[in-house]
Structure 1
Amino acid sequence: METEAVAHLIRTGLPDAEVEVTGDGSHFEAVVVSSAFAGLTPIKKQRLVMDTVRAQIASGELHALSIKTLTPEQQSASA
């Protein structure tokens, strides 16, 4: 699986998200910025992102995904 394919799946599931994915074909890291994360616990944020790639993980097409989630406000504060 390619990094852009993973990013596309996340963007499709979270349409307002800014997504950056890096990886080597089986292990990926995603930074996802979305207003949908506002007020959610860290685990709920992770679940929202994982739900967008659940089928690929279940099939083995996507082996591992490390996720960092931020709201737009958190992204601005860390810039």
Structure 2
Amino acid sequence: MEISEIVTLIEQKITPVSVAVDGADCSFKVRVISAEFAQMRPVQRQQKVLGCFSEFLADGRLHALTVEAFTPEEWAAHTEATLTQLTI
């Protein structure tokens, strides 16, 4: 599969704010940021994203998919917490 195919499949079923994909061939890592995840537990978020690929996982076209799923607010807090400030 191509990265563009991964992004398209996610965008067809989830309204994302952002989709980032890394990987190649049949093993990918995706980070999806969407307001749709607001009332979902982490496992529900993963199930929603993985549901976009059930056919591809079942027939072997996709072997591994690592999912990170955040709301926009969670992602903002996550990136803020990982920034390092340098003072000169």
CA RMSD after TM alignment: 1.1
**Bigger Rg over Cα:** 2
TM-score, normalization by structure 2: 0.83
Given that 2:15 and 2:36 are in contact with CA atoms closer than 8 Å, whether structure 1 keeps it comes out as no
In structure 2, stretches of 5+ residues that fail to align are: 80-88
Deviation of the 1:17 alpha carbon: 4.2
- 4+ residue stretches of structure 1 with deviation over 2 A? none
1: CA distance, partners of 2:62 / 2:9: 11
Q: Distance in 1 between matches of 2:18 and 2:12?
A: 11
Q: How does 1:46-65 map to 2 (within 5 A)?
A: 46-65=46-65
Identity of matched residues, %: 32
- Higher RCO (Cα < 8 Å, 6 or more apart): 1
Aligned AA for 2:41? T
Q: TM-score, normalised by structure 1?
A: 0.92
Shift of 1:78: 1.8
The Cα of 1:53 is off from its aligned counterpart by 0.9
Structure 1 gap ranges (5+)? none
- Corresponding residue for 1:11? 11
TM-superposition CA deviations, 1:18-73 (whole Å, max 9, x none): 21111021110000001110021111000000111111111111111000010000
Count residues with an aligned counterpart: 79
